[in-house]
Structure 1
């Protein structure tokens, strides 16, 4: 007995057959770049790095004071992020096989170091002022110590508790480290000659920031 295939079934079979052919003939292997495309992409990358280095050198020469419009913690974070960008491009340039890019990277490095030496003390001063204003309402006195603003001192009855000192230090540690403070001091009244302190193992202001931090 012959099986009768309806028109609808025939159409379905035809569609499935076509899909099968398409699948079998489709080239699934990824498209490889031709030698010309590879050379073009390499040249674009080189030009991009060279342009970035030149632009950053020009920018830092034109506007060396990165703190002039900083008035908040967010502003401080933006400046720190900018130094990370500088560091990343300096590293890329120094590792480049292109001599011109190496020279540009070294030029940028010198200018960034000079900028950091001027900028970090100002950033620490700005941070101190923000902290002083914020903590004043909680009866916490804040002082900044040293010619380059490397030490923060906190005074309040709140710091009679070692637990409170430890928690405060833990909360502030990352920002203090990024701003390259060297020490924090905690006193529980202003006339106290003794205080608890934490030494902070931060970079020198002249050291290029690690872009992975």
Structure 2
């Protein structure tokens, strides 16, 4: 019992002797007239010479101005303050620092052209990367946002004075060439954030679609079938999980075996219907297709037609394509460079 009492007393003594810094409440931003003008985006408390990394909307030029920030935000007096204005917010890009004295960075100036393209709240950052027609904007965020972060984006849009926004695509990397690598987007009209599915979620969804199959009853469904194959192949290249990769590969192979013959049959039926008007008859035997018509008495016409249809026939894995100028005439044909239906 006495040992327990001694332990409790020891804890109370340790708490009473702890640094006042640990109990000191620290603000992280300064807002003037509804506008964010100062924000602490990083704090380093690892040693006695700790530091704050602070973004400022307007340039600070002397120690008195920095001390005003220190006082307003209740920042520790013995910690160095590094000041940033540029949109990178990377260490080393500070334009000045201050502790016992104020000093400018000779290789990094205050970047006036970045004053309105960044919004910082606590340690969270939104940076405007670029804008496109029709109200499309591209934002960098220093962390992945979630569906619940709508108000954060709305405050950033207001602070950055962006008008007429339709959609903002969200990126985890600072890129000069925004594209498909966005991780989500904010839709202004609906006031919601949509997060793209992760790679594993995409793979699971694709496996489910492949296993459910597809009803091939039109040329449009053939195009959809080909799109699903392309998507599956792309995911196979991106997947680094062997178990998931093997599972996807099996599903894709089975999907192809079942549907390539159906897709070829649909192509044949469509070609037969369309080319009848041009006095061309189409024959299908297994994976071999033949076009029959009087115009194929001319070798130049045969060659030109072959070049025109070769790619789409290879995409559907026909083995050969042939031409005759009458029903029982000699067949001029080419072997196509294709895999077996189940091969990926």
TM-score by length of 1: 0.70
SS at match of 1:50: helix
2:337 pairs, out of 190, 201, 209, with: 201
Unpaired segments of 5 or more residues in structure 1?
Answer: 1-20, 209-213
Is 1:87 the counterpart of 2:229? The answer is: no
Relative CO higher for 1 or 2, CA cutoff 8 Å, sep ≥ 6? 1
TM-score by length of 2: 0.45
Q: 1 or 2, which has the higher helix percentage?
A: 1
SS at match of 1:124: helix
**C-alpha offsets along residues 28-81 of structure 1, whole Å, 9 cap, x if unaligned?**
3513499x949x97xx89x701111111222222x22x2x24312x33222111
- Distance of 2:310 and 2:90 partners within structure 1: 49
Q: Counterparts in 2 of 1:1-213, with a 5 A limit?
A: 27-28=85-86, 30-32=88-90, 37=143, 48-61=198-211, 63-64=212-213, 66=214, 68-72=215-219, 74-93=220-239, 96=240, 101-146=241-286, 150-192=287-329, 194-208=330-344
Question: How many pairs are equivalent?
Answer: 169
Change beyond 3 A, Cα 1:121–1:32:
farther
2:296 and 2:324 in contact (8 A); partners too: yes
**C-alpha offsets along residues 124-166 of structure 1, whole Å, 9 cap, x if unaligned?**
01000000000011111101012xxx11011111100001111
2:216 and 2:263 in contact (8 A); partners too: no
Partner of 2:119: none
CA RMSD for the aligned pairs?
2.9
Q: 1 or 2, which has the higher strand percentage?
A: 2
Change beyond 3 A, Cα 1:181–1:29:
same
- Distance of 1:69 and 1:206 partners within structure 2: 17
SS at match of 2:198: helix
- Distance of 1:168 and 1:160 partners within structure 2: 12
Q: Which has the larger radius of gyration?
A: 2
Unpaired segments of 5 or more residues in structure 2?
Answer: 1-57, 62-82, 92-122, 124-141, 147-171, 173-182, 184-194
